[in-house]
Amino acid sequence: MNPILQAREARHEHVQQLMRQYPDCSVVILKTNVVGTNKNPVHMRFICSFFNDLVHRTFGAKIQLHGRQESADGNYCFYVINEVGTLVKERTIELEEYNSIGRLIDLDVYYKKPISRQDLQCATRTCLLCDNFAHICSRNKTHSDDEIHQKIQEITCDFLIDYLTNITIKAIYSELELYPKFGLVSHRDNGCHLDMNYETFIRSTFALKPFISRYIEEGCNDNINPKKLQQIGQQAEAKMFQVTAGINTQKGLIFALGVFLPVLTKNIIQHNNEAQFIQDIQELSRAIVGSYYEQLTEETATSHGDYIYLEHGLKGIRGEACRGFQCIFDIPTIVHHDDDVTHHGYLLRLMAVIDDTTIVHKTSIKTLRTVQQEVQQFLDNGGYLENKESFIHLSDTYKQQCISPGGSADLLVLKIIYEQIKHLLKHD
C-alpha cells in the first residue's frame, strides 16, 4: 500500500481507538494542510506548535489526553477533550479562523462520529488561491503544487511579520510599564534621566515599529544579509533621533532586535532548536560587528560605548550579541500569573550577570561591580517576590545614585519576546 494511504489508515484507527477508550469525550486531530508527497515540510512545522498552544489555552483542564504522532501523511497532534462534540467543533472553527495561518491547518473533531462544518451549518472552506471551495480545487487539481507552496510561504511570512512585530512592541511596552526599576524611565517617573520621559519612549517605539517588521521580514529569506540589517538599523536610529529631537532612547535595543528578530524568524521557519538559534545569533553578530573593536582607537571613538571599551574592555550589547545573548537563555523561566513578578525577576537576574555599560556610563565600573554583587545577594535572599518592600528601597537608592541599567532593560525585552515564542522552536 502507498505509505501515505497507509498512514491515513493508521490515523483513522488511532481515532477509533481513542473514541472507544473515551466514549463520552471528543477527539480532535490537528494537522497541517500540505499538498504533494512531502507531508512534513520543515517550514510548516511551527504551525502545528502554534495551534497546539492555542488548543491548550482554549480547552485547558478539559483535555484528558494529548500527544503528538509522526505520520507519513503529516505529523499530527491529538487531544481527548471532555466536552460535547458540537461545542468543541465550534471552538475549533474559531481557532481555524483565528488568523491567516488557520487556513493551513485542519482541526478535525470526532464525537461518536466525525463532525463537519456542514453539521454546524458553517461555510465550507475556500481555496487559498481562488474563491472556489477548497475540496473542489483539490479534487480537480486546479492549481499546481508550486503555486500552492508559494502561496503558503507568503501566508506564513506575512503571519510571522505581523505576529512577531506585535509581540515585540508589547514586550517593549511591558519593560517600559515596569515599576519600580531603579533609574530607568517608566510610566511613573523619569528615573534618573533629565532628558527623556515616558512620552519620549512612546514616540520612539512607535517610530521603530516599521523597522522591526523589516528585521523580521529579512529573517523570512533563505539567507540573512548582515549589510541589509545594518542599513535597516541605521535608518531606525535616524528615525529615533528625529522623533526624540536627538535623544538616544533605544539605540542599544535597535541593535539587539536587529540581530535577534531575523535569526528568531529564520529558526522558527527552519524549525531549529534553541542551541541552533544561539549559534546563529553568534554567527550573525560576529559578521555584523566584524573587526570593529580591533580597529577602535581614541581618534575613531564616537560613542560612550566606544570609550568604555577602550578604558575597560566592555563591549556592551554588541558583546552580548556575539555571545548569542546567552544570558537570556541561562535565566530559568519564571512561572507566575503576575507579569510584575516575572519581569522584575528577569531584570534582577540580568543585572546580576551582565556588564551593563549604561551603568558604567552614568556612574563607574566600580559601581557596576557593586550593583552586580548587591543584586545577586538580593536574589540569594528570595528576590523580588519575597522582598518587595526592600526592592522599593533598593530601587529608590539606585535612582538617587543615578544607576540606570539600560543594557539589562534591553535584554529584558528579548527575554520577554523569547518566553512568548519559544514553543515555536523545535524541542528535542
Question: What is the grid cell recorded at 152?
Answer: 503558503
So what's the pLDDT on residue 134? 78
Question: What is the grid cell recorded at 269?
Answer: 521557519
> What is the side-by-side strand order in the sheet with 105-111?
63-69, 76-81, 26-32, 105-111, 113-115
In the listed set 104, 119, 143, which residue is the last one of a domain according to the structure?
Answer: 143
So what's the pLDDT on residue 96? 92
User: Is the per-residue pLDDT at 132 higher than 90?
Assistant: no
The verdict on 203 and 250 lying in the same domain is yes
So what's the pLDDT on residue 166? 98
Contacts of 72 (CB under 8 A, 6+ apart): 3, 4, 6, 7, 39
3-state secondary structure of 69: strand
So what's the pLDDT on residue 340? 95
Q: Which of 95-99, 207-211, 308-312, 340-344 has the lowest mean pLDDT?
A: 95-99
* In a domain? residue 33: yes
> Tens digits of per-residue pLDDT, 175-185?
999 999 999 99
Nearest 5 degrees, angle CA 343-CA 248-CA 326?
40
The burial of 172, by beta-carbon neighbours within 10 Å (0-12 exposed, 13-18 middle, 19 or more buried), is given as buried
Cα 425 off chain centre by: 10
The verdict on 116 and 174 lying in the same domain is no
The verdict on 79 and 160 lying in the same domain is no
Using a pLDDT cut of 90, give the percent of the chain over it: 86
pLDDT tier, 138 (very low <50, low <70, confident <90, very high otherwise)? confident
CATH code of residue 89 = 3.30.70
* In a domain? residue 7: yes
The verdict on 245 and 276 lying in the same domain is yes
* In a domain? residue 10: yes
User: Is the per-residue pLDDT at 123 higher than 90?
Assistant: no
So what's the pLDDT on residue 137? 82
What's the CA gap between 221 and 218, in Å, rounded? 6
| Residue 117: domain span | 3-143
Q: Residue range 188-195: average pLDDT?
A: 94
The verdict on 108 and 193 lying in the same domain is no
So what's the pLDDT on residue 148? 84
The verdict on 267 and 359 lying in the same domain is yes
pLDDT tier, 129 (very low <50, low <70, confident <90, very high otherwise)? confident
Q: Residue range 197-220: average pLDDT?
A: 97
* In a domain? residue 182: yes
Q: Residue range 192-198: average pLDDT?
A: 94
The verdict on 267 and 356 lying in the same domain is yes
User: Is the per-residue pLDDT at 399 higher than 70?
Assistant: yes
> Tens digits of per-residue pLDDT, 77-93?
999 999 999 999 999 99
Using a pLDDT cut of 70, give the percent of the chain over it: 100
The verdict on 116 and 239 lying in the same domain is no
So what's the pLDDT on residue 1? 58
> What does 345-389 look like in DSSP terms, one character per residue?
HHHHHHHHHS--HHHHHHS-HHHHHHHHHHHHHHHHTTHHHH-HH
* In a domain? residue 191: yes
The verdict on 116 and 169 lying in the same domain is no
In the listed set 85, 113, 143, which residue is the last one of a domain according to the structure?
Answer: 143
| Count of structural domains, the chain | 2
Sign of the Cα pseudo-torsion (292, 293, 297, 298, in order): positive
In the listed set 115, 143, 171, which residue is the last one of a domain according to the structure?
Answer: 143
The verdict on 137 and 173 lying in the same domain is no
So what's the pLDDT on residue 126? 82
Q: If you average pLDDT over every residue of the chain, what do you get?
A: 94
- Any alpha helices (H) in 37-103, and if so which ranges? 45-59, 85-96
User: Is the per-residue pLDDT at 39 higher than 90?
Assistant: no
So what's the pLDDT on residue 260? 98
> What does 101-156 look like in DSSP terms, one character per residue?
GGGGEEEEEEESEEE-TGGGTPPPPBPSSSSSBHHHHHHHT-S-HHHHHHHHHHHH
What's the CA gap between 398 and 191, in Å, rounded? 9
Overall size of the chain counted in residues: 428
The verdict on 14 and 161 lying in the same domain is no
The verdict on 160 and 116 lying in the same domain is no
Of residues 361 and 119, more confidence is placed in: 361
> Tens digits of per-residue pLDDT, 249-273?
999 999 999 999 999 999 999 999 9
What's the CA gap between 63 and 56, in Å, rounded? 8
Q: What is the dihedral of CA 321, 326, 328, 334, to 10 degrees?
A: 170
Contacts of 421 (CB under 8 A, 6+ apart): 164, 167, 264, 268
* In a domain? residue 347: yes
Which residues does residue 133 pair with via DSSP β-bridges, in sequence order? 126
* In a domain? residue 193: yes
* In a domain? residue 332: no
Q: Which amino acid is at 115?
A: I
CA proximity to 405, closest of 366, 340, 355 = 355
